[in-house]
Amino acid sequence: MYRLHKWTGILAVIFAAAHWLIEMGDDLVKAIFGRSGRLHEADFSGFIEMIRDAAEDTGQSH
């Protein structure tokens, strides 16, 4: 039981430190690379307009 408790505590400290480093490193990565490293947001406006036009045509025909 002692070994389980000891290793659980060690892993908790490791994961907490890793989490903290990831959270602190996020600002550093943004400062170094800026927004150029981010993926572009998807633009579905053309698809939505196409569906809207089809829906209006379908609704007006009945």
**The pLDDT of residue 7 is above 80:** yes
pLDDT tens digits, 22-41: 888 777 777 776 666 566 66
Q: How far apart are CA 50 and CA 38, in angstroms?
A: 28
Q: What is the pLDDT of residue 1?
A: 93
Between residues 61 and 46, the one the model is more confident about: 46
Alpha-carbon distance 29 to 23, whole Å? 10
Question: H or E segment at 1?
Answer: none
62, pLDDT greater than 70: no
Give residue 25's pLDDT.
78
Distance of CA 24 to the CA centre of its chain: 17
Overall pTM surpassing 0.85 (yes/no): no
